[in-house]
Chains A and B, each alone.
Chain A
Amino acid sequence: MKAKAFSYFRAATIDQALDAHARAGDDARFIAGGQSLVPALSLRLQAPRLLIDITHINELRGVTREGGHLRIGALTRHCEMLSEPLIAEFAPLLHAAAPFVAHPAIRNRGTFGGSVALADPASEFPAMTLALDAEIEIAGPSGRRRVKADDFFLGLFETALQPGELITAVHVPLFRADQRFAFDELARRRGDYALVGCGILATFIDDRIDDIRIAFFSVGDTPTRARSAEAALIGKGLDADRIAAAQAALEGDLAPPESDEVPPAMRLHLSRVLLGRLLGRLGEGS
């Protein structure tokens, strides 16, 4: 099928994009990589009157180190999450997650900001912003603001973004020598959305966990932190008993949706298996 007719506007600056959106109101959509939006338009799940192309806005580009964090421009493409040395060094969890996002040609166009804005609960990057305690930098009609990832994902495809607001960048605290990370997902086929996926960032003091953030995706309406599992691990070393306790705690953290293909009990089981593997790897000091 073809998209319904629309007008197209290529914005050169953030202000132009915001202004165009304000004038078209509900009838406008920003387009970044288009790797989710174009299929949605082709299926006529959406039919805006105006598409505002933000991919030529230079301010949305680039990855830079700013004090204690990395500023990742919204237009950073998925393939750049793999090739950009600053990401590999200072946000290795994102680097580890990137090969699991779709297929190479989709990674050539899809953007980090687009993925976070879309907030697909099955997507890798939105969940990783939770694990990383990232902050989302937003520009909108009423000015600029920042929202913590913990407060950003509100419901199914629902975020703290107000109509007409643009994600300009995501800020990620720099990875430190006392930290370890792990990422993996279980999928039926390479490049497919995960049945369940998880990313972990932990801070250690000697071999004890001082702080840990565990984020799951594909297990509910939003990317989800496993807070009880985190609580079960803080202050402890990663021995088999602790890992088992964290796995057991997942019951209270995750509420997988009803589905004929993957019943909730199976998804919970897969989540436990995955968590066990990742904590095992963290314990080995990966």
Chain B
Amino acid sequence: MSGFEDSLLDEVDETVRIRLVVNGRKVVCEVAPRHTLVDCLRDTLELTGTHAGCEMGACGACLVQLDGRAVHSCLVFAVQADGATVNTIEGLTESGVLAELQAEFHRRNALQCGFCTPGMLVNAHELLSRVAQPSREEIRDALSGNYCRCTGYEAIIDAIDTVAKARSENGGAT
């Protein structure tokens, strides 16, 4: 019944093989249990678009989509994600779903150093896929866990607001 082997207790930090679908491709990684998903993405899979800032869930730089939902990849151990589907900023960019947001961030200077931008985009994308026309208040709320230390938030909120309005004027196209 158990499935649990006592010998596991002596194998602390031994690597485990995990399988993921990352950005549409099946991958197999060897990870130690204490490695977080952001470690695995950046160091093992060399997907360095996902950034690691605080590594405590406070800054939002590490947001990815895990099974379709935005989550902090610093707050998930890679082993926990075994069998899951992950989309990073690279995959979301390739698929084109972020194109309008990216163009609008660019147009409005909604970034300077860009460190926070991947997380902002992942979060903005999730917001717009859940709420067709969020108010500025709702946009602020959605971004409340994303820190940007250079731009200030107005330009970022303007960019997201503009995309939301443009989409609803196009009858919700894209």
Contact = CB atoms under 8 A, between A and B. Distances in A.
Interface of A: 1-13, 15-16, 19-20, 23-24, 27, 31, 34-35, 38-39, 41-43, 49-51, 53, 55, 79, 99, 102-106, 108-109, 189-191
B157 interface: no
24 contacts: A2-B34, A4-B34, A7-B11, A7-B33, A12-B3, A15-B1, A15-B2, A20-B2, A34-B75, A38-B36, A38-B74, A38-B76, A41-B34, A49-B9, A55-B80, A103-B60, A104-B126, A104-B127, A105-B69, A105-B71, A105-B72, A106-B145, A109-B76, A191-B144
B13 A5 contact: yes
Contacts of B141: 99, 104, 190-191
A166 to B, nearest CB: 15
A10 B5 CA distance: 12
A41 B4 CA distance: 22
Contacts of A102: 145
Interface in B60-77: 60, 63, 69-72, 74-77
Contacts of A6: 12-13, 33-34
A1 B52 CA distance: 11
A11 B4 CA distance: 8
Contacts of B32: 5
Given A6-B33, A12-B3, A109-B71, A35 B12 contact: no
B8 interface: yes
Interface in B22-75: 32-36, 55-57, 60, 63, 69-72, 74-75
Contact of B123 (A5, A23, A53, A105): A105
* For the complex of A and B, 9 pairs with smallest distance between CB atoms: A103-B145, A5-B13, A191-B144, A8-B33, A20-B4, A3-B34, A108-B69, A190-B144, A5-B12
Given A105-B60, A189-B144, A9 B80 contact: no
A74 to B, nearest CB: 17
Contacts of B79: 8, 10, 53
Contact of A11 (B3, B57, B123): B3
A34 B4 contact: no
Contacts of A99: 141
Given A3-B34, A11-B3, A34 B8 contact: no
Given A19-B2, A23-B9, A104-B145, 16 more contacts: A5-B12, A7-B8, A15-B1, A16-B1, A16-B3, A24-B9, A27-B9, A34-B77, A39-B57, A42-B74, A53-B80, A55-B80, A104-B144, A105-B126, A109-B72, A190-B141
B80 A34 contact: yes
A99 B131 CA distance: 15
Given A24-B9, A38-B77, A191 B3 contact: no
A102 B145 CA distance: 8
A13 B4 CA distance: 11
A102 B71 CA distance: 12
Contacts of B63: 105
Contacts of A190: 140-141, 144
Contacts of A104: 70, 123, 126-127, 141-142, 144-145
Contacts of B145: 102-106, 191
